[in-house]
């Protein structure tokens, strides 16, 4: 029994997911508490994205269960989990590409705070919320002001990813899940995004799947390392990276992250 007084945000209990003969996630248990900022790493095919998909409801587990803020959500579809406060980004971005940047932010704001009917969302509410302080502040924080009226399909990958994360943070979800948020970004964009994420530490519960461990290591409080569907190490980053099985299975990424001495 844990003595940590912080509220539990998400708990996975012995979850397993099989694809035909392949066990993609193998009996994984995992807990995140309020304001934890945690990362999941693992080599290609380790099961990270499948585990994300189990947490967020894109797949039902074959075994085990998922609890969100104490509620069993194992059979709940993704959109209902979003309504409960679980928000994720994707490796490939998920934005409304035929709308402008500001209208994407407005949709995120309205969905999170006003929950209108769909026609109201598009025809009435949007225009009147373009100057809402939360929307304006988010444009500034994410350096999206100059792109405010740009149609999203004309943005670069980095700009789109920034927008997607801005949309998620604007909604202030109880749990923010980021699937490789830095993939495909230039160094300056990475630095900008990391500054925004660091500013959320202590204010938001965040789970990040990220290959570029060196970038996120200094603000992750906890790391979970997966290999062939299993959790092989969990705890503070340095401790995990010293773990013998991690050193065996994960040395390429650890080396990329500047951990060459520790794992050679």
Ligand X SMILES: Nc1ncnc2c1ncn2[C@@H]1O[C@H](COP(=O)(O)OP(=O)(O)OP(=O)(O)O)[C@@H](O)[C@H]1O
Residues that bind ligand X (CB under 6 A): 19, 22, 24, 42, 44-50
Distance CA 263, CA 5 (A): 35
Cβ proximity to ligand X: between 41 and 135 the closer is 41
Side-chain-facing half-sphere of 124: CA atoms under 13 Å: 6
Task: Please report how close the Cβ of residue 110 comes to ligand X at its closest, in angstroms.
Answer: 32
Assign residue 217 a region (left: φ > 0; alpha: ψ between -120 and 50; beta: otherwise).
alpha
Distance CA 161, CA 95 (A): 9
Cβ proximity to ligand X: between 70 and 77 the closer is 77
Task: Please report how close the Cβ of residue 64 comes to ligand X at its closest, in angstroms.
Answer: 16
Pair 205, 175: CB distance under 8 Å = yes
Task: Please report how close the Cβ of residue 82 comes to ligand X at its closest, in angstroms.
Answer: 21
Distance CA 32, CA 7 (A): 9
Cβ proximity to ligand X: between 15 and 46 the closer is 46
Cβ proximity to ligand X: between 50 and 205 the closer is 50
Task: Please report how close the Cβ of residue 226 comes to ligand X at its closest, in angstroms.
Answer: 6
Q: Report CA Rg, the chain.
A: 19
């Amino acid at each position: 029994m844990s003595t940590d007084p912080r509220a539990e945000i998400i708990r996975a209990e012995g979850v397993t997911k099989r694809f035909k003969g392949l066990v993609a996630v193998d009996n994984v248990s995992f807990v995140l508490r309020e304001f934890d900022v945690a990362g999941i790493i693992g080599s290609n095919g380790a099961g990270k994205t499948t585990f994300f998909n189990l947490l967020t409801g894109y797949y039902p587990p074959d075994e085990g269960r998922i609890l969100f803020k104490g509620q069993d959500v194992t059979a709940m579809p993704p959109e209902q989990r979003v309504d409960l406060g679980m928000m994720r980004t994707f490796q490939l971005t998920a934005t409304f590409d035929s709308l402008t940047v500001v209208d994407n932010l407005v949709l995120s704001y309205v969905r999170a705070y006003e929950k209108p009917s769909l026609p109201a969302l598009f025809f009435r509410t949007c225009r009147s919320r373009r100057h809402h302080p939360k929307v304006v502040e988010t444009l500034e924080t994410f350096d999206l002001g100059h792109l405010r009226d740009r149609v999203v399909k004309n943005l670069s990958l980095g700009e789109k990813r920034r927008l997607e994360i801005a949309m998620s943070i604007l909604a202030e979800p109880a749990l923010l899940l980021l699937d490789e948020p830095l993939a495909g970004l230039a160094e300056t964009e990475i630095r900008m995004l990391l500054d925004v994420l660091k500013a959320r530490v202590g204010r938001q519960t965040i789970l990040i799947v990220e290959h570029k461990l060196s970038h996120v290591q200094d603000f992750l409080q906890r790391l979970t390392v997966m290999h062939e569907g299993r959790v092989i190490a969990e705890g503070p980053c340095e401790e995990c990276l010293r773990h013998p099985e991690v050193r065996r299975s994960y040395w390429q990424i650890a080396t990329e992250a500047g951990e060459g001495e520790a794992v050679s």
